[in-house]
Amino acid sequence: MSMRMFVAGALLLTLPQVVALAHEGGAPLEAEVATEAKPWTSLDANNNPDSFQFAVVTDNAGGPRAGIFAEAVAKLNLLQPEFVMSIGDFIEGYEDNRESLNAQWDHFLSEVAGFEMPFFFVPGNHDNGRPLWAEIYNERFGVPYYHFVYKNVLFLCLTTNDGPENNTGIGQAQIDYAAKVLAEHPDVRWTLVFQHKPLWNDQGAQGWKEIEALLKGRPCTVFAGHTHNYLSQEGEGISFVTLATTGGGSTLRGPAYGEFDGVVWVTMTDEGPRIANLLLDGILDRDLRTPESAKELALFRADKAVVATPVLFEGGSFTSGVSKVTITNPSEKPLRVKVLTETAPGIRAEPSTIATVIPGKTENVTELRITADAAVPLAQLQPVLLHWKGYYDSGANTPSLVLGGERRILLDSPNVIPVLQTAPAVDGKVDDWADLPFAVSQPGEVWHNVPAWKGPQDGSFRFGVARDEEFLYIAVKATDNEPCFDGWKYWEDFTMVTVDGRASDSEDLKEAAFSVIAGPQISPEQAAEFEIGQKPEGVKTASVAVADGFTAEVAIPLASLNARQGGAWKRVRLNVGVSDFDKGDARDGVTILYWRPQWTSGQTYPESGVFVKE
């Protein structure tokens, strides 16, 4: 079928056919459940025969990026709209050579031929913006403006290069045509207009005021493109939607800038069109992940493709050390990698950037030297954060597979526990502590949802560790921009102290470790539900809310450490975590900030969080 016949066929969608379609009801839902209670909300399927779905594609010119429009065709075939509308700029044009222009059209139509549903053309300035271009366009598609009706919805397709010499504007003949069409269809339930240029933003545009006056007073939505920049507006009782790109020139900075490749999905309902923007990158077919690809990328999913050794040192302050950063490529394909380092003030990492291509089935090892401008006390040290991105480039004009994550390099040394002359009250207040020296503004691990933690301004904490003859004391001061103490289960703020009382690493950690949870409104039942291991008798906890977060205290009987180590205890491993749950970001879930990596994670190391008696 030729394109001319195709468009002509579209014009034959007349009202009697629409009525016939409207009487075709959808199949009912049939189910048999004898109980009064039913495992569904309703059996009234959302299949109103008057409703329908169609898609809209937008600019593919003005610096076209090859392959994007063809990708849109394939992805719309996944979604199966009833038909596809457009708003022009199909070819790059801008050549006054018939042979070259026809070659461009032949290429574009070869991509359009992939659609499994009808496609409706609306010209843009790249398509008919000069007399020769308009001549070729009309030879191929018959007319630059037309209309059709489907299910009592009027589709009015206009050209915005209808001025003198095909410059911007809408000529009188087209205005007269639109007036006649609108007059002939006064009672359609909605009018949808498709045109290339958003002339409502151009006060001097020829003919637009007349078109706008004709549209006033009827339910109407107008779609356009041209600017390669998405914008939704309302004016004069009309909805205006300017679309982004479907392969046209764009810096693709994202939805916030209105710059993205996408299609528009329109569901026509009795109340009007419901419009959804679908980014092409978000339309994925069923084989996006298979057993083969899952196996190939298992190392990334386990967070073991990029690892870094901790920097271990002796003494109470840090000056320099080396971490080995190992990046493993588990695939046969080359892996392009970039790693950026983030350090605390006064700390330098060299090299600060790692950028390389790792051949298949190999690894890259980089020695990262970390240096302090001046000696930093152990308790003040923050991890060095590695932000990494990995790319498997297809080489076949398809999107690269992008992987990424974070890895933290811990700077660690055994900590000496100070002796208290006067025991704290263990009342949750920390005003009887002289100092809480351990500052955690960059956690050693963020669990469970890394992006949910927005940085130190979102949540941070300090803590102190001390002892007397009876107890090991831990005090915590959490600072939170949105304290939450009235949650359910663990969806609120609290601290968790994990204790490893083993004398050596040869003993089973699972048998020895236990945790203690304390929060302003954490009940003993809540704590018991999520604490791990066997908490010894005599543990004390208390916590109170303060204006900018909460404070907490935990006391561990030293007798339990003596019993675990078979005599006078010598050392203990500790980890302190703080739950930062924000109702304003509840969709991000629970986030726990840990001073050191959890001992069950792949980032932990045996020397993590060691405290010694003396």
How far is the C-alpha of 13 from the C-alpha of 332, rounded, in Å?
53
DSSP assignment of 302-369, as one string? Answer: TT-SEEE--EE--SSEEEEEEEEEEEE--SSS-EEEEEEEE--TTEEEESSEEEEEEPTT-EEEEEEE
| pLDDT tens readout for residues 353-411 | 999 999 999 999 999 999 999 999 999 999 999 999 999 998 888 889 999 999 999 99
Question: CA nearest 436: which of 469, 411, 463?
Answer: 463
Predicted confidence at residue 586, as pLDDT, reads 81
How far is the C-alpha of 156 from the C-alpha of 211, rounded, in Å?
11
Grouping H, G, I as helix, E, B as strand and the rest as coil, residue 398 is coil
Predicted confidence at residue 9, as pLDDT, reads 38
Predicted confidence at residue 97, as pLDDT, reads 95
Position 125 pLDDT exceeds 70: yes
Question: CA nearest 11: which of 161, 142, 172?
Answer: 142
| pLDDT tens readout for residues 57-98 | 999 999 999 999 999 999 999 999 999 999 999 999 999 999
The sign of the torsion formed by the CA atoms of 325, 330, 331, 332 equals positive
How far is the C-alpha of 107 from the C-alpha of 53, rounded, in Å?
28
Q: Which residues contact 461 (CB under 8 A, 6 or more apart)?
A: 440, 476, 477, 478, 479, 495, 549, 576, 578, 593
Residue with tokens 């398809």: 398
Question: CA nearest 461: which of 520, 399, 548, 544?
Answer: 548
Position 313 pLDDT exceeds 90: yes
Predicted confidence at residue 12, as pLDDT, reads 36
Q: For residue 523, count other CB atoms closer than 10 A to its CB.
A: 9
Position 334 pLDDT exceeds 50: yes
Per the prediction, the chain carries an average pLDDT of 93
pLDDT average, residue stretch 183-191: 98
Question: Please, which residues bridge with residue 389 across strands?
Answer: 338, 404
What are the C-alpha distances in Å from 215 to residues 237, 243, 508, 574?
A: 9, 20, 77, 71
Position 503 pLDDT exceeds 50: yes
How far is the C-alpha of 325 from the C-alpha of 309, rounded, in Å?
7
Burial of residue 270 (CB within 10 Å: 0-12, 13-18, 19+) is exposed
Q: Which residues contact 231 (CB under 8 A, 6 or more apart)?
A: 198, 241, 242, 258
How far is the C-alpha of 384 from the C-alpha of 408, rounded, in Å?
6
DSSP 8-class letter at 395: S
| pLDDT tens readout for residues 253-272 | 999 999 999 999 999 999 99
What are the C-alpha distances in Å from 143 to residues 45, 138, 242?
A: 40, 5, 23
Structural domains present in the chain: 50-281 (3.60.21.10), 289-411 (2.60.40.10), 414-612 (2.60.40.1190)
Is there a contact between 108 and 114 (Cβ–Cβ < 8 Å)?
Answer: no
Question: CA nearest 123: which of 150, 89, 98, 92?
Answer: 89
Q: For residue 161, count other CB atoms closer than 10 A to its CB.
A: 27
Predicted confidence at residue 2, as pLDDT, reads 43
Q: Which residues contact 523 (CB under 8 A, 6 or more apart)?
A: none
Grouping H, G, I as helix, E, B as strand and the rest as coil, residue 295 is helix
Ranking 270-279, 395-404, 466-475 by mean pLDDT, the lowest is 395-404
Q: Which two tokens stand for residue 365?
A: 């090892």
Burial of residue 574 (CB within 10 Å: 0-12, 13-18, 19+) is buried
| pLDDT tens readout for residues 188-215 | 999 999 999 999 999 889 999 999 999 9
Predicted confidence at residue 26, as pLDDT, reads 64
